Amino acid sequence: MAPIAVGDKIPDGTLGYFDAEDNLQQVSIHSLAAGKKVILFGVPGAFTPTCSLKHVPSFTEKAQELKTKGIEEIICISVNDPFVMKEWAKTFPGNKEVKFLADGSAKYTYALGLELDLTSMGLGIRSRRFALVADNLEVKVANLEEGGDFTVSSAEDILKYLDA
């Protein structure tokens, strides 16, 4: 499948997370994004160096600035299970805005056309690193990384688009 692109409608999919009462839940991407301006960003793996030290912090640190630019939801997706995502989210104690959602089977990642085969590194199928801005489900920005790059998908890169 071709990777998601500007002008496409983001596909719906059900992803896992833990709610504030520590109950395992499922949520539809469309329930979070329909009628809103949202950022979906994907990372190859929880607890991995670039994801943990650069990618997620760019969004947790710039969340309020993104909100002032009209962003209503900031969603981090990774091909990990909800238990891992819950523990990873705890490593960003100041975070109040980024939702951590688990795509344990990579089904949603495949729907986006953004799967990345890291089997040779012992990681299996993961997600390419990316950042999307969608307005009422229509993709307005699709910043997709190649390989292990981190050059176009940070919060700062999204702010450049929002400031234009």
Please state the length of the chain. Answer: 164
Q: How far, CA to CA in Å, does 88 sit from each of 17, 29, 33, 57?
A: 12, 20, 23, 12
Sequence-ordered alpha helix ranges (H) in the chain: 29-33, 49-50, 56-68, 82-89, 107-112, 155-163
Which is the catalytic residue, given 15, 38, 46, 51?
Answer: 51
- Between CA 16 and CA 27 the distance in angstroms is 6
- Beta strands 73-78 and 98-102, pairing class: parallel
51 is catalytic: yes
Q: List the one residue out of 162, 164, 154 whose CA is nearest residue 70.
A: 162
Looking at the annotation, which residues are catalytic?
A: 51
